[in-house]
């Protein structure tokens, strides 16, 4: 039945002059190998109805998933300028700005957007947090430690206007690790150790996540003199995920100072089928943040 429906969609070629037809066909056939055909259908939908925001979102999302962040940004900006009152379009635009490294502009868009609460409404806060954490990491890199603290503290917040409330259990290892690193750089060893200990506690609490943030947990354990626990964490991580898991392989190489191996793992991830995406096909949305944070740790 499904194959018959696909055949009917394909058989109509480019004869219909109704935008929803092409948008539906693009979604129906998007898991196929012909990505150019999918993009052509999306563009056809956009050209037939320039006010169809769903078609524009499909186009923005297509470019974003392809790692073409500049074209994703242009698509998101065009429809956002036409219909700025729609929170979904604002979030698409903010995401495109974030992916393009335009953090100040990203936060400016988020700050003027109100997202109504709905089930699964997490993206607004997630973009807000990612932008502030990336800003904090960049401030660390530029030795602006007080600015890093300000950004990391903002990342902790849960603005009501972003449509989601603060959960009971929140994993704040990224925020606390940046705050600890900033305190360490500013010579406040006592505060740094306190914050590193908090990262360690959350690593234990969220142990079964087995994601890239565990690398920060391992580094924090080492920082407070618990290197044996860090070794045990990697042993358990290997048991849970295996040596072939790219996140584990990268994190292990990073922790042990094998930069060549870490770079090689990253290169393989980027060249994989999903490697052009923000998460490099890993499904770990914190991975780009962890990469940015650990990149500044060895700076003098």
Q: What is the pLDDT of residues 229-282, one digit of tens each?
A: 999 999 999 999 999 999 999 999 999 999 999 999 999 999 987 788 899 989
For the cut 90, the answer to whether the pLDDT of residue 27 exceeds it is no
Going by pLDDT thresholds of 50, 70 and 90, the confidence category of residue 179 is very high
Q: How far is Cα 190 from Cα 24, in angstroms, rounded to an integer?
A: 58
Q: Which of 72-81, 156-165, 198-207, 283-292 has the lowest mean pLDDT?
A: 156-165
Measured in residues, the chain has a length of 300
Q: How far is Cα 231 from Cα 63, in angstroms, rounded to an integer?
A: 40
Task: Find the mean pLDDT for residues 94-106.
Answer: 96
List Cα–Cα distances, 96 to 77, 169, 289, in angstroms: 9, 29, 16
For the cut 90, the answer to whether the pLDDT of residue 7 exceeds it is no
296: nearest Cα among 173, 196, 148 = 148
For the cut 60, the answer to whether the pLDDT of residue 120 exceeds it is no
Q: How far is Cα 269 from Cα 17, in angstroms, rounded to an integer?
A: 40
Tokens for 222, please give them: 């080492």
For the cut 90, the answer to whether the pLDDT of residue 298 exceeds it is no
Confirm if 106 and 98 have CB atoms less than 8 A apart: yes
Q: What is the pLDDT of residues 30-77, one digit of tens each?
A: 766 678 889 999 999 999 999 999 999 999 999 999 999 999 999 999
Q: How far is Cα 93 from Cα 90, in angstroms, rounded to an integer?
A: 5
For the cut 70, the answer to whether the pLDDT of residue 119 exceeds it is no
Predicted local confidence at residue 47, as pLDDT: 96
CATH number of 1-94: 1.25.40.10
Taken in order 81, 87, 88, 94, is the CA torsion positive or negative?
positive
Predicted local confidence at residue 274, as pLDDT: 79
Query: Please, which contacts does 190-198 make with residues 24 or more away whose CB atoms are closer than 8 Å?
Result: 192/223, 193/223, 193/224, 196/220, 196/223, 196/224, 197/224, 198/172
**Residue 161: CB partners within 8 Å, gap ≥ 6?**
113, 114, 115
Task: Find the mean pLDDT for residues 106-127.
Answer: 86
Percentage above 90 pLDDT, the chain: 78
Residue 206 burial by Cβ neighbours in a 10 Å radius (0-12, 13-18, 19+): middle
Percentage above 70 pLDDT, the chain: 97
Predicted local confidence at residue 257, as pLDDT: 95
């Amino acid at each position: 039945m499904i194959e018959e429906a696909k055949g009917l969609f394909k058989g109509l070629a480019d004869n219909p002059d109704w935008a929803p037809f092409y948008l539906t066909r693009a979604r129906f056939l998007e898991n196929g190998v012909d990505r150019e055909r999918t993009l052509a259908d999306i563009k056809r939908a956009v050209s037939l109805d320039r006010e169809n925001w769903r078609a524009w979102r499909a186009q923005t999302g297509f470019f974003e998933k392809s790692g073409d962040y500049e074209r994703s940004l242009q698509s998101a900006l065009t429809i956002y300028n036409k219909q700025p009152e729609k929170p979904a379009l604002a979030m698409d635009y903010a995401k495109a700005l974030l992916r393009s490294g335009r953090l100040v502009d990203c936060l400016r868009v988020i700050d003027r957007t109100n997202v109504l609460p709905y089930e699964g409404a997490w993206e607004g806060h997630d973009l807000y947090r990612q932008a502030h954490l990336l800003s904090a990491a960049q401030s660390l890199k530029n030795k602006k430690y007080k600015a890093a603290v300000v950004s990391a503290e903002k990342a902790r917040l849960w603005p009501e206007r972003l449509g989601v409330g603060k959960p009971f259990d929140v994993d704040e290892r990224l925020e606390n690790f940046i705050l600890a690193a900033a305190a360490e750089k500013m010579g406040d060893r006592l505060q740094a150790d306190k914050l590193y200990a908090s990262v360690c506690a959350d690593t234990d609490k969220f142990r079964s996540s087995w994601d890239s943030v565990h690398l920060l947990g391992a580094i924090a354990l080492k920082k407070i003199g618990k290197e044996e626990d860090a070794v045990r964490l990697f042993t358990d991580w290997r048991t849970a995920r295996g040596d072939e898991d790219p996140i584990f392989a990268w994190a292990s190489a990073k922790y042990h100072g094998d930069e060549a191996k870490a770079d090689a793992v990253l290169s393989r991830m980027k060249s994989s089928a999903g490697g052009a995406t923000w998460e490099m096909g890993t499904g770990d949305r914190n991975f780009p943040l962890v990469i940015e944070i650990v990149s500044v740790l060895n700076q003098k």
